[in-house]
Structure 1
Amino acid sequence: MIETLKLYLQYPFVRYALIVGVLIALCSSLLGVTLVLKRFSFIGDGLSHVAFGAMAVAAVLNLSDSMLFVLPATVLCAILLLRTGQNTKIKGDAAIAMISVGALAIGYLLMNLFSTSSNLSGDVCSTLFGSTSILTLTKTEVWLCAVLSVIVVITFILFYNKIFAVTFDEGFAQATGVKAGMYNLLIAVIIAVIIVLAMNLVGSLLISALVIFPALSAMRLFKSFRSVTICSAMLSVICALTGILISILAGTPVGSTIVAVDIAAFALFSLLGSLKGGVRFSMIQK
């Protein structure tokens, strides 16, 4: 097995997949705790459907670099989703359902009507569940992912205190002068960027798993916001690496394998948490 891994690691596309997997797992886990605690974790699922619709439009328009269209469109929908969710007539969960289902349906409709591909079902399946091959990542995509990931991590570190305040008590944060709306918008934009980056690895339907599972697993053992965030980031990276290596050796789809490892990690942490007597998570401990 070790010899097989050494052989595969000699190929650039394998190294690209490992680098991108680690970066995406790290970024998604950082904000995963905040989204789970704000009960807005399904924003990842909603925006992933939006990204699928945008990618379908880019394919219909025959854009050479779909990222130039998909990324701005997803970010714009993230802003729209946040604004719509604050509307008293349309609650947050309804806004997510409305935008995500609409984008998914329109995207699939456009691909059926205008796609010139001879394997439409394969293209749709690859986009939704991630490519069955890790040969799809190019050097340009790796560099783009690296740059955007660094920006996400730096942004999270710089605004950590503000994000914590908005997550803990948004009303109190506003009373103390924190511009909660601006930081909620920042969180939504960052999540949109992460989702677009993750589509090539795990597919649009599995992205929310990278956001939710590491955070929930960490909450089984730790009780402070900082310790949960750190544990979530470390666990997410380990699960991504493990999932990619297993997919290389077993020939399984990368995205589904990573999510399966995340599920196994959640089961393990839940068992450890129950043996420990249960941990009561408290955001009072920063």
Structure 2
Amino acid sequence: MATIAFIGLGHMGEPMAGHLVAAGHTVRGVDLNPAAAAAAAARGVEIVGSVAEALAGADACLTSLPKPEHVRAVYGGDDGIFAHAPASAVLMDTSTVDVETSRWCHDAATERGLTFVDAPISGGTAGAEAHSLTFMLGGRPDDVERAREIVAPMAGNVIACGDAGAGIAAKLANNMMLFISVMAMSEGSQLAERLGLDPRVFWEVARVSSGDSWALRTWYPVPDVVERAAANNNFEPTFSVDLARKDCGLAVQAGDVTGVHLPAARLALAQLDELIAEGYGGKDCTLVAKLASPDGTLRGFDPAADAAASDAPVPTHA
């Protein structure tokens, strides 16, 4: 069994680290959020106070971080991963970043005699809980095979995508397709509602017909149709608008660099920006269904509930 450092124990990192513990690995975790650290500790992760402490004698290190700037800081900072990683460890970033940041990680690791594999994931929080994530690995073939063994307890699929940066390139294209699917699902769900169709009946039709998609099966934006969909919980985030905007923006940026025309992705990006402008960046990305509604309301979404929660008095204890 391996000793694994896990940096970033949020909605994705916490269950992922827990599955590594369940597989028999020793996992040392780091997160700035005390609540996230406590939740990971409840799964058997040993919480430590620094990246250096997590990496001491580690066989592998995984990172799960929100944005490219966080990845660059955690890897390249004075107290970061590159400064403290053992030469024998395999370093893997599961975050969704731009291709340039991923290649920077590869190049900086190589300059220091370290091993890095880009290892982005697909499957969302449900996949993280069910250890059914898809890992998209990029790097030298021997390094990718080492990474494959480490990520197996968290994965339903592990796919070697190619050389350095190939994993993150696959992830950006895949997530771009997801957000376009979310937009199509959202519009279809609202049209079906306004045409008087029973939501579950329409969902069953679409699920076995040409309207099917992963988004429809997992995130349908109407209450009481898909059990784990955010629509059942006032659109509390499984994949937030802010993070979706980040990922979609990175895909559009890649289109600009490569010259690929992405009109549908740009429309999805504009809708996410519209939700952020309305103050909904922290809600689930499937709230874009609200933009298809004739009057801007959405069954399953009560803005007043959020306002009431934020205005509630903070409980005190003697």
Which structure dedicates a bigger proportion of its chain to strand?
2
More RCO (CA 8 Å, sep 6+): 1
TM-score (norm 2): 0.26
Q: Higher helix share goes to which structure?
A: 1
- Report the TM-score when normalising by structure 1: 0.28
